[in-house]
């Protein structure tokens, strides 16, 4: 029986695994970069370390196969990242040893957490990442994870949440739009940015 529950530290390896297996615009990114930990060290690990109480998972009874993670204040998160995550990230993923431009670009995201912050951050201070293994997709878990997170942000008085999507991920874009996320002014077809208010009842 699948259940949605708060994240526990023992879920970390499963979250890393889900992040890699959905990391290529929704498809499997295993083997894409020199180190499979590169994507989760940017898009999962720091969130779990900084704000584990805003992480929720889908537990299949055997493992965690999906998650939503977020930070409530993207600017504060970036400051924390510089001091607490970046030193280890630099050592684990040296830019000099990246074999190609694609990998250099990804490492660049990990070196500059501010690059993902949107101009609309005052209205939408939080940001999120959500990923489900293929066997869990299109069964309502994504909607339930989003509902859970939006309720948690609302309770904390956070006014809104933004996210970035790969323009290649048409499926995720359709999902977010269906759930009421809307393109922010800084959004462009090549770099979609969506947001939703959490200061009204959700």
Q: Which residues contact ligand COA by CB under 6 A?
A: 22, 26, 130-132, 137-143, 165, 169, 171-172, 174-175, 178
The whole-angstrom separation of Cα 91 and Cα 34 is 14
Q: Which lies closer to ligand COA via its Cβ, residue 27 or residue 111?
A: 27
Tell me the longest C-alpha to C-alpha distance in the chain.
Answer: 48
Task: Please give the Cα distance from 194 to 176 (Å, whole number).
Answer: 8
**Closer to ligand COA by Cβ: residue 18 or 153:** 18
Of 88 and 143, CB closest to ligand COA? 143
The distance of closest approach from Cβ of residue 56 to ligand COA in the complex, given in angstroms and rounded to an integer, is: 13
182-183 sheet: strands from edge to edge: 3-6, 56-59, 64-71, 126-132, 160-164, 193-197, 182-183
Partnered with residue 57 across adjacent β-strands are 5, 67
CB 43 to ligand COA: min, Å: 9
Judged by CB, which is closer to ligand COA: 22, or 198?
22
Supply the minimum distance, in Å, between the C-beta of residue 189 and ligand COA.
15
Least separation in angstroms between CB 174 and ligand COA: 3
- The structure tokens listed for 137 are 């997709």
For ligand COA, the nearest residue by Cβ is 142
Q: What's the Cα-to-Cα distance from 27 to each of 15, 79, 132, 165, rounded to whole Å?
A: 15, 31, 11, 13
Question: Measured from the CB of residue 52, what is the shortest distance to ligand COA in angstroms?
Answer: 20
Q: How far is CA 38 from CA 22, 35, 75, 178, 182, in A?
A: 13, 6, 22, 30, 29
Q: Which is nearer to ligand COA, 60 or 82 (CB)?
A: 60
Taking the least distance from each CB to ligand COA, the nearer of 90 and 143 is 143
Nearest approach, Cβ of residue 102 and ligand COA (Å): 18
Q: Looking at 42-181, which runs of residues are DSSP E strands?
A: 56-59, 64-71, 126-132, 160-164
């Amino acid at each position: 029986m699948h259940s949605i529950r708060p994240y526990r530290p023992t879920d970390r390896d499963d979250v890393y695994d889900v992040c890699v297996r959905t990391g290529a615009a929704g498809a499997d990114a295993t083997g894409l970069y020199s180190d499979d930990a590169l994507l989760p060290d940017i898009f999962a690990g720091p969130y779990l370390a900084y704000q584990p109480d805003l992480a929720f998972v889908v537990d299949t009874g055997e493992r965690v196969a999906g998650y939503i993670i977020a930070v409530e204040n993207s600017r504060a998160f970036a400051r924390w990242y510089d001091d607490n995550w970046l030193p280890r990230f630099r050592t684990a993923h040296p830019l000099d040893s990246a074999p190609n431009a694609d990998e250099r670009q990804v490492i660049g995201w990990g070196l500059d957490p501010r690059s993902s912050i949107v101009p609309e951050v005052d209205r939408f201070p939080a940001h999120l990442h959500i990923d489900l293994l293929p066997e869990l997709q299109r069964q309502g878990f994504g909607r339930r994870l989003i509902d859970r997170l939006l309720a948690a942000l609302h309770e904390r008085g956070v006014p809104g949440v933004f996210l970035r999507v790969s323009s290649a991920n048409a499926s995720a874009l359709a999902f977010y739009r269906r759930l009421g996320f809307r393109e922010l002014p800084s959004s462009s077809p090549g770099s979609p940015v969506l947001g939703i208010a959490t200061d009204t009842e959700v």
